[in-house]
Chains A and B, each alone.
Chain A
Amino acid sequence: MSLNHFLENAMSEWMRVKGADSDVIFSSRVRIARNLAHIPFPMLSTASQSEEVIHLIEEALTKDDIPEILENAELIQMADLTDLQKRVLVEKHLISPHLAEESTSGAVLFSQDESVSIMVNEEDHIRIQCLFPGFQLEKAWKLASQIDDWLEKHVSFAFDEQCGYLTSCPTNVGTGIRASVMIHLPALALTQQLNRFIPAITQVGLAVRGIYGEGSEALGNLYQVSNQVTLGQSEEEIINKLQGVVRQMIDHEKQARERLLGMSPIQLEDRVTRSFGILAHARIIDSKEAMKRLSDVRLGIDLDLLTGVPSSVMNELMVLIQPGFLQQYAGEKLGAEERDIRRAELIRERLGMERD
């Protein structure tokens, strides 16, 4: 499988296929951190030790018992990629910013459908990530665990009876699991209920942060909800708890949508169609505005206020309009203003409104 495949298609499987509750939950992700015993963690390992880690993973990949999903997967070295290529992979959520920016001896492998990526020499030696569309945390955990079982047959993991799986950062120690969902909360944002919600979620040991945007501005009303605690609870307990809280968030968001639709239908329709009009006709648009309009349009599609636009359009566009992808598409480096022009162009094309 060539690297170009992963770089050129904006749409990963998780964006194209609809999962359960995909009108609110765009994706579910489980990532587990593992380290090899007897080799210092990547922060302190020497070049030859890092190579050894890569070598051990490569060797495991040649074994007959390799999980079907990883057949033909190849390790890609970060050093062989340009900064722009790395950025595109980050924008597709296939690799972490840490692997792209900080790792000197990092590598990654993807399953063909991009639902699995295994990062090597990130903050930990190994990070297994499974990403599925919609609300499918359990499925993501089962697959990650299965890959973990397979890998463990061929390499020996740093494990301690008391502390569990040993990781570079104390916040990952134990299960090494980070489970998260990408959730779209336009109605809770519109009805100004998020300020009430977010502290409550933090109180039960979960973290909420914006997915796009510098610092903490949540562009496009997209949030990531994830577990914070990794020690003292089993993986299943952690997943169940996250699932329970997310389920409540889904219900509240859906109620808020119904209420908005019931109380101010014309205002809501105006907001949706106005945003659609801007996206369909603008000649210059920055990512902040684009994300805001895309959020409105997606809400309109999910509430049947807009027809004829596939709902995956926002999932796809929110990746396509990121700076890395825009430049990958243009085949050259672009300044901020040029990006805003290209972004508007791309959105118009994608919405199929250019008829001349």
Chain B
Amino acid sequence: MSLLCPECGKRPATLHYTKIVNGEKTEAHLCEVCAQEKGEYMPGFDNGFSFHNLLSGLLNFDMVSSESPNIAQQKTMPRCATCGLTYNQFSKIGRFGCSDCFETFRDRLDPLLRRIHGSTAHQGKIPERTKGELKIRRDLEKLREQLARSVESEEFEEAAQLRDQIRSLQEQLSE
């Protein structure tokens, strides 16, 4: 059973696609002729909007929602201290300027990343180097807790050993 195109009411709607505008999903059904006229669809496909338009749509959505509560917020728009990029500029061009932008814009990134990827937490590969550092930092944390406990219970011999271990791990980190 084929659906008639709601635009012309003549031809069957053979194209069914999902559009995302400002984070809102809408279903559209059109015939090929009307879809082409509306610029929604090009033969071959690439559903009418490019991914970059979609991306800047997502970003604009962020800007609008952050502007509305108060305009003063615009003036305190965060700026990356390293590369000088403001959040406003980021949302226009859709590109970060440097790796520190992530820290600077972190509060605003979660909703954006969630809309693009459906998630905000990395699950993939970790550089060996980072992996090693992470482990050392976690070990250090544990050792410091142990040290505090052994000092408290006046086990000085153990405390001295723990201090040595901590010192050698700290040296590894600063290498």
Cross-chain contact B51 with A207 (CB below 8 angstroms): yes
Which chain A residues (122-179) contact chain B, with CB distance < 8 Å?
A: 123, 145, 148-149, 152-153, 156-171, 173-175, 177
Q: A residues engaging B (CB < 8 A)? A: 35, 37-41, 43-44, 123, 145, 148-149, 152-153, 156-171, 173-175, 177, 194-195, 198-199, 202-203, 205, 207-210, 213, 215-218, 228-235, 237
Q: B residues engaging A (CB < 8 A)? A: 14-18, 42-47, 51, 55, 82-85, 93-99, 102-103, 109, 112-113, 116-130, 134
Q: A41-B96, A44-B83 are in contact. Are A233 and B14 (CB under 8 A)?
A: no
Distance (whole angstroms) from the CB of A63 to the closest CB of chain B:
15
Cross-chain contact B55 with A170 (CB below 8 angstroms): yes
Cross-chain contact A174 with B127 (CB below 8 angstroms): no
How many angstroms between the C-alpha atoms of A154 and B15 in the bound complex? 51
Cross-chain contact B45 with A170 (CB below 8 angstroms): no
Cross-chain contact A217 with B113 (CB below 8 angstroms): no
Cross-chain contact B82 with A40 (CB below 8 angstroms): yes
Cross-chain contact B98 with A171 (CB below 8 angstroms): no
Distance (whole angstroms) from the CB of A210 to the closest CB of chain B:
5
Report whether over half of chain A's contact residues are helix, strand or loop; otherwise say mixed.
loop
Cross-chain contact B44 with A216 (CB below 8 angstroms): yes
Cross-chain contact A170 with B94 (CB below 8 angstroms): yes
Q: Which of chain B's residues have a CB closer than 8 A to the CB of A152?
A: 127-129
Distance (whole angstroms) from the CB of B98 to the closest CB of chain A:
4
Distance (whole angstroms) from the CB of B148 to the closest CB of chain A:
25
How many angstroms between the C-alpha atoms of A145 and B125 in the bound complex? 9
Cross-chain contact B123 with A234 (CB below 8 angstroms): yes
The answer, among B14, B45, B97, B116, for a CB contact under 8 Å with A40, is B97
Cross-chain contact A163 with B45 (CB below 8 angstroms): no
Q: Which of chain A's residues have a CB closer than 8 A to the CB of B94?
A: 169-170
Q: Which of chain B's residues have a CB closer than 8 A to the CB of A175?
A: 122, 124-125
Cross-chain contact B128 with A217 (CB below 8 angstroms): no
Distance (whole angstroms) from the CB of A253 to the closest CB of chain B:
16
B105 closest partner in A (C-beta): A170
Cross-chain contact A170 with B47 (CB below 8 angstroms): no
Cross-chain contact A232 with B82 (CB below 8 angstroms): no
Q: Which of chain A's residues have a CB closer than 8 A to the CB of B82?
A: 40
Q: A159-B126, A198-B45, A213-B44 are in contact. Are A41 and B98 (CB under 8 A)?
A: yes
Q: Which of chain B's residues have a CB closer than 8 A to the CB of A148?
A: 125
Cross-chain contact A166 with B83 (CB below 8 angstroms): no
Q: Which of chain B's residues have a CB closer than 8 A to the CB of A167?
A: 96
Cross-chain contact B95 with A43 (CB below 8 angstroms): yes
How many angstroms between the C-alpha atoms of A280 and B43 in the bound complex? 28
Cross-chain contact B99 with A35 (CB below 8 angstroms): yes
Cross-chain contact B102 with A233 (CB below 8 angstroms): no
Q: Which of chain B's residues have a CB closer than 8 A to the CB of A203?
A: 18
The answer, among B42, B122, B128, for a CB contact under 8 Å with A216, is B42
* Additional A-B contacts beyond A198-B47, A199-B17, A215-B42 (4; CB < 8 A): A40-B82, A170-B96, A205-B118, A231-B121
The answer, among B17, B55, B99, B120, for a CB contact under 8 Å with A166, is B99
The 10 closest A-B pairs by CB, nearest first: A232-B119, A164-B122, A216-B46, A158-B99, A175-B124, A231-B117, A218-B44, A40-B98, A216-B42, A217-B44
How many angstroms between the C-alpha atoms of A169 and B94 in the bound complex? 6
Distance (whole angstroms) from the CB of B4 to the closest CB of chain A:
16
Cross-chain contact B14 with A174 (CB below 8 angstroms): no
Q: Which of chain B's residues have a CB closer than 8 A to the CB of A41?
A: 83, 95-99
8 contacts between A and B (CB under 8 A): A41-B95, A160-B102, A162-B121, A175-B124, A210-B46, A215-B44, A229-B116, A234-B124
How many angstroms between the C-alpha atoms of A153 and B127 in the bound complex? 9
Q: Which of chain B's residues have a CB closer than 8 A to the CB of A202?
A: 17-18, 47
